[in-house]
Amino acid sequence: MDWPFSETQRIFRRSVRKFVNEELNPQVDEWEAQGIVPKEVFRRMGELGFLGIRAPERYGGAEADIWSTVVFCEEMGRCRSRGLTMGSLVQTDMTAPYLIDFGSEALKARYLPPMISGEKIASIVLTEPGGGSDLARMRTVAKRQGDHYSLTGAKVFITNALNADLFFVAAKTALEQGHRGISMLIVERDTPGFTIEPMKQKLGMHGSDTGELTFENAPVPAENLIGEENRGFYYILRSLMNERFVACAAMTSSAQQALEDAIQYAQDRELFGQKLSEFQVTRHRLAQLQTKLEAARQLVYYAAQQQAAGEDWSTTVAMCKAFCADVAVETSDACLQLHGGYGYIEEYDIARFYRDIRLWKIGGGSTETMYEIIAKRMGI
Ligand SMILES: Cc1cc2nc3c(=O)[nH]c(=O)nc-3n(C[C@H](O)[C@H](O)[C@H](O)COP(=O)(O)OP(=O)(O)OC[C@H]3O[C@@H](n4cnc5c(N)ncnc54)[C@H](O)[C@@H]3O)c2cc1C
């Protein structure tokens, strides 16, 4: 659909689609089996200008608007490895915005250009073994000691961790102050006292590497503090909007791809003397899924419109995250069912999609967390 995209964005869409079809999809089975994508994939994406869509031009970005981000997410969402999609979005929209929106000029100048070129890969580091939803309870501590912070604590489920060079870490700089005591620091991979262990055997998202991080009195230069001390929770809340929004744009497009695959399958498969797609129950189910996906997509576009207009988009983003994840998971279940036994083996993409997409009811803020945000906004 052309609306609401400009001619430039339509051209951009074609270039991302070509990249996904020609340079990623032929190799994703191998990367999924390895549980990680080669670092060169990020460098290639940087070379093509995909990693700095909304970043300032002076750091190598394109300074484009949110609709270009939507195009990128929608086309990356069609990649046959949703793990790879997630890893690339961590780089573009889940870490870089902390620097762009709140970082000092020195930090931006140092870290944005290599992130935009894909030379350095980044991770967002919030979740701890004791809990991800209740961020205010985090126990990782960054204690100021002269010209550096001494970082101690543990983090889990960190996407890109094995590939990453830069870690955007949330830690307590004032332990007893709940959410008012959190700060954000950039930690480099080779920091002494910092170790990374792979977290393997995930249900899905095998094309993304996941790690467990431990910090034991790891020294982090004081200038690597993003923004102000103890303002981290506010930065996280702001940045999580980007994170959830791009996840919604990508997962809705992934689900659209799965639906198109299922339609193709239903048109090919014959049973009881007719095509599967000719049974009214099949046609109605496919039509119902398309209707829900369209509603999900329009909610994504509504959020984009609000962001572009400078309005508060937080409630819409929360609604979007809860709704898109539900629709995508429902689509995965229904499309797998349509494939019958073939849906249960790896011959078709639907099995992988079914495993991958389930994450989005949990990751980046669970559905229950989204309903908490919405209920609070409703005054209940
Ligand atoms: C593959 C993968 C990749 C990830 N990548 C990253 C990453 O890159 N960086 C990062 O920081 N984290 C990452 N995460 C962590 C993810 O964001 C957390 O798993 C998520 O925030 C939930 O936290 P938790 O697992 O501790 O569950 P908990 O917070 O313990 O939640 C347990 C259950 O309680 C529910 N719940 C929460 N609040 C309420 C409430 N108010 N009322 C009722 N029920 C509630 C939750 O919805 C959930 O069902 C990743 C996770 C996975 C699985």
pLDDT (tens, 9 = 90+) of the chain, 380 residues, equals: 678 999 999 999 999 999 999 999 999 999 999 999 999 999 999 999 999 999 999 999 999 999 999 999 999 999 999 999 999 999 999 999 999 999 999 999 999 999 999 999 999 999 999 989 999 999 999 999 999 999 999 999 999 999 999 999 999 999 889 899 999 999 999 999 999 999 989 999 999 999 999 999 999 999 999 999 999 999 999 999 999 999 999 999 999 999 999 999 999 999 999 999 999 999 999 999 999 999 999 999 999 999 999 999 999 999 999 999 999 999 999 999 999 999 999 999 999 999 999 999 999 999 999 999 999 999 99
Q: Judge whether 74 and 249 are in contact, CB under 8 Å.
A: yes
The pLDDT value given to residue 85? 98
Domain 233-377 matching CATH 3.40.50.970: the answer reads no
Q: Judge whether 375 and 322 are in contact, CB under 8 Å.
A: no
Give CATH 1.10.540.10 domain extents, the chain. 7-121
Ligand 1 pocket check for 207: Cβ under 6 Å: no
Q: Among 84, 124, 362, 367, name the best residue to mutate to test ligand 1's pocket (greatest count of ligand atoms within 8 A of Cβ).
A: 362
Joined tokens for residue 365: 């803020």
Q: Judge whether 128 and 170 are in contact, CB under 8 Å.
A: no
Ligand 1 pocket check for 26: Cβ under 6 Å: no
Ligand 1 pocket check for 223: Cβ under 6 Å: no
CATH of span 7-121: 1.10.540.10
How many Cα atoms sit within 13 Å of 13 on the Cβ side? 18
Superfamily of domain 124-230, CATH level 4: Butyryl-CoA Dehydrogenase, subunit A, domain 2 (2.40.110.10)
Query: Is 243 labeled as catalytic in the residue annotation?
Result: yes
Instruction: Provide the residue count of the chain.
Output: 380
Ligand 1 pocket check for 125: Cβ under 6 Å: yes
Give CATH 2.40.110.10 domain extents, the chain. 124-230
221 forms bridges with which residues in the sheet? Answer: 148
Closest CA to 185 of 216, 141, 154: 141
Closest CA to 249 of 85, 374, 363, 133: 85
Q: Which of 212, 216, 243, 346 is catalytic?
A: 243
Give 261: exposed, middle or buried? Use CB within 10 Å, 0-12, 13-18, 19+: middle
Residue 4: is the preceding peptide bond cis (ω within 30°)?
Answer: yes
Give CATH 1.20.140.10 domain extents, the chain. 233-377
**DSSP assignment letter at 321:** H
